[in-house]
Structures are given as C-alpha cells and as structure tokens.
Structure 1
C-alpha cells in the first residue's frame, strides 16, 4: 500500500511516468482464458461506483466475470480511498492495481469514458496509462480530439472507441448518441478508431441495438452491454434476456461481425446489491454459447 507520505511525494510529479519510445507495441489481444463462450465478458467498474476499484475487481470476479473496464476517478481501495484510478494517478497505483487484478484472475481491457484533450501532451497521459495497464482500448466521447486520438492510437497501438450516451433533446450539439454520426466520424480513419456500443443508451434514445450495430459493422471495438425493462428514456437495467434489448440478437450480430473486443456489463440499477443481477447477465452469455 502507498502511505500518505509516499502519496504526497508522488502527487508532485507527472502521472504514470513511463517510457515514451517511438516503437509501438502490438495491440494486445484478449486472452482466450478471459473469455466465456467466445466473448470476453466482465464489468465496467462504474457498475460498482458506490465502491472502490479493489471492490469492483472483487465483485466482478464474484459474479463470474473475466475482464474489467476502469473509469477515471474511482477510489483505489477501502484502505486508500484518497487514491484514484486513472491517467492522473502515480505509477505505484498502476502497480497495485495490476497486482489486485492478478490476485483475482481479472484482465483489464479498457479505460473510460474519459475526456481526452485535443492537445497532444494532455492526450498522451491517457495513452501512457493505457500502455502501463496493458489495455486494449480507450473509451471516449471526445470527438473534437479525433486527429490527436488517431495519431496516438497508431503510436501506442491502443484502440479508441467512441461511446454513446442517450440522446439529449436540449443539446443538439451532442451527436454521438446516433450510430450514423459515429460511423461517418470514423469512416476512412485508422482501423484502431471505432465505437463502444452502449446498447442500453441506444435503447434509451429509442434505437434498436441490433440495427445500430449493423450501421457500425466492422468498427465495433467494445460494448457496454445492457438490457432494459423498456425502450425509451425511463428504461432501467435488468438481467440479460429479460428486457427489451434482445440481447440474444445482439450477441448473434456481434458474432456474425467477428467481434473480438470486450463486453462490459454496465449495470446501472440496484447499485448497492447488483452482483446477483450481473451474475445472471454473465450466465446468459454462458448459456448463449452453449445453445
């Protein structure tokens, strides 16, 4: 653990100090042992945002998940709540986090949703964190930074996935809710630039998730997989297969597209006790593969 004195010392230096050699490492494939029925499935740590990152790892393992996607700002552990996960963290936090992941057999795959600045120096911090953690992708909605994101994605061989929140009727400038906008945004870009498909937020926008996936065919890097009790803005998360999002058809479409990314369960309901529901979601994917 990092004591308070160590934290004070490291808070004075740049976050995650690593080599910035120009040679890019190959984009990391998700290991087969981190998959269930051919899908790399686990949790977006935001599912457990009432808890720490350590507890999110533990709960992901308890639910049967194999992978995790971290988000910026989550407290590291109950013992060190003032330490935060993310690209502003000191290098020791990365080491501690990786040790905890290894302890529970969980693979870290993504980081986001994170805002990325257009300036290369600021954006590079995010990619350095991704490299340090051995991540496959960064999840963002920073469309204005796409040129910088593409340049650094190539340099670091870390993919960039544009994520969708629900449509905002009062904010016409918010466009990533629309898969057609994202498809046009990434057209002609490096294959490392694509989409993070949030099925629940599409449903909250009144869109059919399978149709959205088809619009983004070949560009789906990762998914925030959700099933909702009803279509529309009032829908809330329910276990896969019990809601309106037709998760079986979603998995069929991803399989047909040769999807190789991760499925992050982002269960935004029953926040204090959602491990059983997450376990049901993972069980649905396991059962899908057995059919």
Structure 2
C-alpha cells in the first residue's frame, strides 16, 4: 500500500517533532542502524562535475557514491585516483563501486576489472555482451570481485529485467549477479518487490527510482510520485537481509536535477523511518 501524501507528511512531522524533543544536535539519517545504506548512482550527476556532486551529497547527508567514469576516467593515473579519493574523504563520501561500464570485448572486460582494482573497489556494475559472460566468470574468480549486471528494462534487448539477468547468471560464479534497477524492472512489466525476494542472493546493488507505468512508455520521475510501492520495497529489503547500497539514480530534469534529488532522497528516507517496527 502506497503512502498517501497526507499520511506521509503527518508521519514525517511527528518524526521531526519527536526528534526535536528527544535528540539534541544533528538528526541521524533514518537509515542509521539499518543493514542497507542509502547512496547515489553517479549517473545522476551526468551533467555536473565531481565538486557539484559532492557538494550536493554533503547537503543531503548521503555518504555512498557509485563512481562513473566521467568523474574518474578509466585512464586516470594513480595520482589522480588518490586525489579523487582524498576529495571524497573530505566530503565524508565513500566510492563503493564503479559503473555501469559497458563491455563488448574481452579487452574491455580486462580494462574494467583492472580499473576497479586501481580504484580500490570490489564491486563492478557492468553491462557485458552475453557472449562475454564466461569470460566475466573467469575474471571474477581471478580478482575475487562481485559483478552486478545492470538491467535496462525494455529500452534495449540486453538484460531487460531481473529474471533475465538471473537466467543468464544462475549457473555462473555466485559473485556474478545484478544491480536491481527497480524502475527499469517495473517498466519491463515486472514486480521489483517480488523480484528482490526471488533473486536476492544475486542482488549486489540497487538503483532506486520511480516510474509512471509498467511499460516502455513509463518514464522516470521523483521517488514517491510514481507506481512503485516503496513501503513494500523497504520492508522486502529488510526481509531478505540486503546489506548493499540503495543508490538513487535520478534521471529527470538532468540539467537541473537538484530539487528532484532532494525530494527523492527525502521520500525514500521517510519511508525507511515510517516502516520501522
């Protein structure tokens, strides 16, 4: 059951009032104490540099970033990677993964794994061609990394939903799984809450967004305004014991996304708080 706007606002008002009465000083983020974390996918800031990205994340009290190569190019030197991490640390942000990275050749798979190693993360969000999966399996064993295939809904034929990724990876190394993009999964006519329950052993990352319809015509919009049942999603995240990051991937108004990012993070955190038992 979706939260109505009135119910949500009343719940958040009570939460804030109680916090003011009982908690002096800064208010902890609602996900504090949860097994999962709230983060942001780097693609959210595709039109903005790293400084603006980190400034926004600091204002939102979000501390986990999936690194895109427009912020840290794959050809970066070791010195540039060190400077990148120092800048993140100054803003209390951790780069927890790299990607999505598209891979059409074995050489591109090699490059992605070496990039992740140099960056110092052990999770790659990737989109390899299907015929490369046996080679990805080999590289996962070699590097001991997790590899999360990003699904894309009905827009492209490659990995449209969670079921498709599961069918392609279930017989591979258990470190190969998916980045469950709940918006794209929904747009391909699937139920992302049910899919998280079915496939949670292979869900290594999550992209959080809302959409208008369970079809290709459905488009992304601020979390809470669309058709995805976020209270049910958060409860399922807890039920399956997901310990990864729920990263907002905001794709609307990319030239000026900041109000939408804040609204989406705020709504998602409100759901986290109001669904606690």
The TM-score with structure 2 as length reference comes to: 0.79
Structure 2 equivalent of residue 138 of structure 1 = 124
Corresponding residue to 2:141 among 154, 161, 164: 154
Structure 2 equivalent of residue 51 of structure 1 = 48
Q: What per-residue deviation string (whole Å, max 9, x for no partner) do you get for residues 168-191 of structure 1?
A: 4xx6xx241132221121113222
Corresponding residue to 1:101 among 60, 81, 88: 88
SS in 1 for 2:102: coil
Structure 1 equivalent of residue 200 of structure 2 = 217
Residues 1:126 and 2:120 aligned together: no
Report the CA distance between 1:117 and its aligned residue: 4.8
Structure 2 equivalent of residue 227 of structure 1 = 210
- Once superposed, what is the RMSD of the aligned Cα atoms? 2.2
Report the CA distance between 1:50 and its aligned residue: 0.8
Structure 2 gaps, min length 5: 1-28
SS in 2 for 1:217: helix
Residues 1:191 and 2:190 aligned together: no
Report the CA distance between 1:122 and its aligned residue: 4.2
Mapping of residues 1-291 of structure 1, within 5 Å: 36-38=32-34, 39-72=36-69, 74=70, 76=71, 85-119=72-106, 122-142=108-128, 143-168=130-155, 174-291=157-274
Q: Identify the structure with the greater helix proportion.
A: 2
Alignment: residue pair count = 243
Q: Identify the structure with the greater strand proportion.
A: 2
The TM-score with structure 1 as length reference comes to: 0.76
The separation in 1 between residues aligned to 2:32 and 2:212, in whole angstroms, is 25
The separation in 2 between residues aligned to 1:63 and 1:274, in whole angstroms, is 13
